Amino acid sequence: MLISLENVTHIYEQEKSVRALSNINLKIDKNEFIGLVGHTGSGKSTLVQLFNGLIKPSRGKVLVNNIDITAKRVSLKNIRQIIGLVFQYPEHQLFEETIYKDIAFGPINLGLSKDDIIERVKEALGLVELDYNSYKDRSPFDLSGGQQRRVAIAGVLAMKPRVLILDEPSAGLDPEGRKNLMKLLRHLHRDYKVTIILISHIMEEIARLATRVIVLDKGEIMLDGSPKEVFAHKEELKKMSLNIPEITKILIKLKERGLDVRTDIFDINQAKKEILTALRGNRNVD
């Protein structure tokens, strides 16, 4: 088991003892693609910070590769190499003079040799589709917002994490940037066998990419299952101020009006096919 949480409760002492997470039991396996959804303040960000030891739980255990990271004298550096975390607006954390140096920050902290570092920076920049030779010596602050974000994500990818957590990575990106980012995540998951945990408010992203969806509400796991299973709970999601993908919504509306379509489809092309066959079927009846 890659990550496992046992009876984890977290209380923010300083902020009027807010219970951010209560009694979470969770197991995350290799090569899963998890969509983590929940309303603002549901505990998503707290949960992912527990995974790499940035926050220690008030109660309970967090195991990464079967090592209890809540125990004393655990090298958190190793844990943070295994589990990469991309925070919200990661471009706000850029600090170096050149893009090369900024991306190399993580690998240097890992104590790698110079050749290894160059190799990793090259690979990370390649993954986010920026040309190594023309970008390495530029200042990250001269880039556009979208490019800055790619550099920041490359900075985490250069650590070669086995688990990549992204907290709303597409917030504030244009549709093109969003599309490219999703392509990157799919590529990492499929070809690099990286386990991905994606926090997002955009249900379409989650529905199309995730193999498993976890719904958090008020610090508790309310739903956990495949996208089909989770998005079937339309009413419950609505109560937690969460949506279902637009395409699914349309299919449900159509079904309510008497068109016999499946409602567990999240992909626009599949939906098109489904609607067309349903329409043809109806026409045949006519």
Name the residues that contact other proteins, by CB under 8 A: 14-15, 49, 52, 54, 77, 80-81, 84-85, 87, 90, 92-96, 105-106, 109-110, 141, 155-156, 159
Residues in a beta bridge with 33: 196
Measured between alpha carbons, how far apart are the two ends of the chain, in Å? 55
Judged by beta carbon, residue 57 or residue 106, the one nearer other proteins is 106
Q: How far is the CB of 100 from other proteins (least distance, A)?
A: 15
Question: Are 4 and 28 contacting, i.e. CB atoms less than 8 angstroms apart?
Answer: yes
Q: How far is the CB of 188 from other proteins (least distance, A)?
A: 17
Judged by beta carbon, residue 77 or residue 280, the one nearer other proteins is 77
Judged by beta carbon, residue 103 or residue 221, the one nearer other proteins is 103
CA dihedral 235, 201, 178, 182 (to 10 degrees): -70
Judged by beta carbon, residue 47 or residue 242, the one nearer other proteins is 47
CA dihedral 93, 18, 70, 4 (to 10 degrees): -90
CA distance 205 to 190: 16
Q: How far is the CB of 133 from other proteins (least distance, A)?
A: 24
Helix axes 99-109, 145-157, angle to 10 degrees: 20
Judged by beta carbon, residue 77 or residue 179, the one nearer other proteins is 77
Q: How far is the CB of 87 from other proteins (least distance, A)?
A: 5
The sheet carrying 195-199 orders its strands as: 83-86, 163-167, 195-199, 33-38, 212-217, 220-225
Q: How far is the CB of 125 from other proteins (least distance, A)?
A: 16
